[in-house]
Amino acid sequence: MECPVSQAPARPRSPALTLGEIVRSHGHELAGALTPEQGSALAAIAACRPAVLGGHVAKCEQCGEQVHFYNSCRTRSR
């Protein structure tokens, strides 16, 4: 794993949001505006890669920073 700290800008980094996190937090706001197909797609996105599916941690050997990777729900779109 390449050291993310040595490649990072001097300012502190904030954790990146995933699409799934955004959908889980705000998807309900779109409830009446989506087609059934769009609603199903958002539900699949929301169910993918939550912490409850488990995952693993990668640790940088240079600086010790840890990055969490959560397991996929393994659903594939058409």
pLDDT in tens, 28-62: 899 889 999 999 989 888 887 777 777 888 898 88
Is this structure's pTM higher than 0.85? no
Q: Which residues contact 51 (CB under 8 A, 6 or more apart)?
A: 70
SS (H, E, C) 7-76: HCCCCCCCCCCCHHHHHHHHHHHHHHHCCHHHHHHHHHHHHCCCHHHCEEEEECCCCCCEEEEECCCCCC
pLDDT tens, position by position, 17-34: 888 889 989 988 998 899
> In the predicted model, is pLDDT for residue 76 greater than 90?
no
